Amino acid sequence: MAFVKGAWRILVAIKDGLVLLFLLLFFGALYAALSFSPKPAAAVSSGALLLDLDGSIVEQPAETSAMALLSGSGPEAKEYRLSDIVTALDAAKNDAKVKAVVLNLDGFVGGGQVAMSRVGKALDAVRAAKKPVLAYATLYSDDGYQLAAHASEVWSDPFGGVAILGRGGSQLYYKGLIDKLGVNTHVYRVGTYKSFVEPFTRTEQSPEAKQANQALAGALWQSWQDDVIKARPKAKIAAYAADPAAAARAANGDIAKAALAAGLVDKLGDESAFGKRVAQIAGEASSDKAGSFATIDLAAYVKARKPANNGQIGVLTVAGDIVDGEGGPGTAAGDTISDLLLTALDEKDLKALVVRVDSPGGSVMASEKIRSAILQAKSAGLPVVVSMANVAASGGYWVSTPGDVIFAEPDTITGSIGVFGIIPSFEGTLAKMGITTDGVRTTPLSGQPDVTGGTTPQFDQIMQLGVEDIYRRFVGLVAQSRRKTPAAIDAIAQGRVWDGGTARQIGLVDRFGGLEDAIAEAARRAKLDPANARPYYIEKQPDKFAEFVQSLADREQDSATAPRDMLARQAWMQRSWAMQAVSDVKALMMGAGVRADCLECRGYGAPKQRSAADERGMMTMLAGWLR
């Protein structure tokens, strides 16, 4: 008994010590969070503005919780806001302290053609101001090379090169696995080209989906080539991309020399040699580390030059999957975005509204909630201008319908006007295990949808009728917005995805232009001088404690997470796409029932950044399916 009492006292003491330690850590972190404010950017010294893009470029970075950062379960790579990069480059071209701009693209994973084109234009402006732009990567892929093509000097590691893949690729189809497991997928859809549900109902693309997807990929690929050739006219990009094996054979398998011979890169050298070259232009670094040069930190530079968020042109960002409920930046949560807009309308003296859309869609209900909030801005007399980024499809187009005018880029992916719903039931799976179901009903809808016993014909009919009704409403909204008949919109809808150039020809968008053009147009419609119009970004304020923890994490992050050699790099990228596909399936099964969503739109740009914990969860789910 004495031994038990002694052991108990030890356990209590350990528990009390852990509680005390936790409280000390908690209140210490709370004090740090409350007292933390981002350092005002110090005056930068002369050097090269370094864009060390170890991650992806996005319209609106996702918010990572402080707990995820502290536990080490945050995303593996960073997300860089497109407008921050453009702001920095626009300032650099006239800043005497910036001697050059340096792109380190070793860890860059992309961001979509619209974003790449916009950054490319900003790089061209820097070069037009007689400032050199130098790019370095071990291995360039499509998005990275689209940026590098706008540099005055393109360097590659001798063991690297350029891997141009072009647009397109395969996607997962689950029909065989579904049949093997005995799962019954109940699909309710409208739209000949609504291919989101095809992976659950077919083992390959339908001819209609393949035709539409091939046309989209072809248009985007041609646009990519046009941009690269214009930026780097001497590069033999078409021949290199059309027959990369021939280029490799001619260089005896040396991919870097093949890229050099084709004019895709200017010089071969490791990072140390590249750094010495930059140092000749921008100055030596204070440290003696080989390959270092005088640098200007991007984050500090942006912070010092970012204009105050106090304009009269409201800019509402709808970025990421459109979901029900609340959510942080990088996810278009219906309740959060509508609340942010309504609060801004109530508290700010806004004269016009720009809706910046970069979303493949999602929940119909959340899309409608966002649209309704935008309509309240219109009813208050505010002109509404829509600016489409990389993707504004399905639900992303739904929220665009209140716009008085819609801007897009030739590379914007839009349309996908269609609706679907999907519900799995597992009566076949249970039957294989000898499990059956039975019960009683008082109406045809009792217990529906029954995921263990299957759905009734009446339920299926009601769901299909409901989806058809929502599709008619969707078409009606577009017809009213585009000033066309529902029949005319139905002919170009049916779930088909369009590139921005074709979308303009068929009347789904009005003009080509970026966010700056949309803000200027909104100012004109509000009778303001576009030259003096300033935006007010309607966004959720970042968590101060998470900001503090992120700043500490950034100091410890020294290297890119993406592999550098060609085989490992491409395998890593394909694994990321596969994980996103599985994540999309999980969201489809567990998220909103009726959706205006575009699966194929997700394949253009960069895969979502996921943490190691997310990946382990995905692999566990896959293993469970395959058992």
Catalytic residue annotation: 194, 394
Tokens 């975005």 found at: 337
First-to-last alpha carbon distance for the chain, in angstroms, is: 49
Structure tokens at 118: 């916009």
Phi first, then psi: give them for residue 521, nearest 5 degrees. Answer: -65, -40
CB 310 within 8 A of CB 274: no
441 by Cβ neighbours in 10 Å (0-12 / 13-18 / 19+) ranks as exposed
Judged by DSSP in three states, 206 sits in coil
CA-closest candidate to residue 141, choices 577, 501, 612, 554:
577
Structure tokens at 468: 């058809």
Determine the Cα–Cα distance for residues 366 and 592; give it in Å rounded to an integer.
Answer: 9
Residues 6+ away with beta carbon under 8 Å from 197? 187, 189, 420, 422
Evaluate whether 296 touches 50 at the Cβ level (below 8 Å): yes
CB 30 within 8 Å of CB 542: no
Q: Is 223 left (phi over 0), alpha (psi -120 to 50) or beta?
A: alpha
Non-local (6+) Cβ contacts of 337 within 8 A are: 316, 318, 369, 370, 373
Position 365, amino acid: M
φ and ψ of 138, to 5 deg: -65, -50
CB 376 within 8 A of CB 336: no
CB 103, CB 51: distance < 8 Å: yes
CA 144 remoteness from chain centre: 16
CA angle in degrees (0–180, nearest 5) for 340-341-342: 95
Say if residues 454 and 624 touch (Cβ distance below 8 Å).
no
Q: Are 237 and 228 in contact (CB under 8 A)?
A: yes
DSSP state of 404: S
Gyration radius from the chain CA atoms: 27
Q: What angle do CA 97, 101, 105 make, to 5 degrees?
A: 150
Burial 3-21 (b: 16+ CB within 10 A, else e): eeeeeeeeeeeeeeeeeee
Q: How far is CA 195 from the centre of its chain?
A: 20
Whether residue 120 contacts residue 112, with contact meaning beta carbons closer than 8 Å, is answered with: no
Tokens of residue 53, six digits: 């893009």
Is there a cis peptide before residue 158, judged by omega within 30 degrees of 0? Answer: no
- Between CA 81 and CA 275 the distance in angstroms is 26
Helix 82-92 and helix 298-305, axial crossing angle in degrees, nearest 10: 80
Rounded distance, CA 44 to CA 304, Å? Answer: 9
Cα diameter, the chain: 88
Q: Which two tokens stand for residue 496?
A: 């088909």
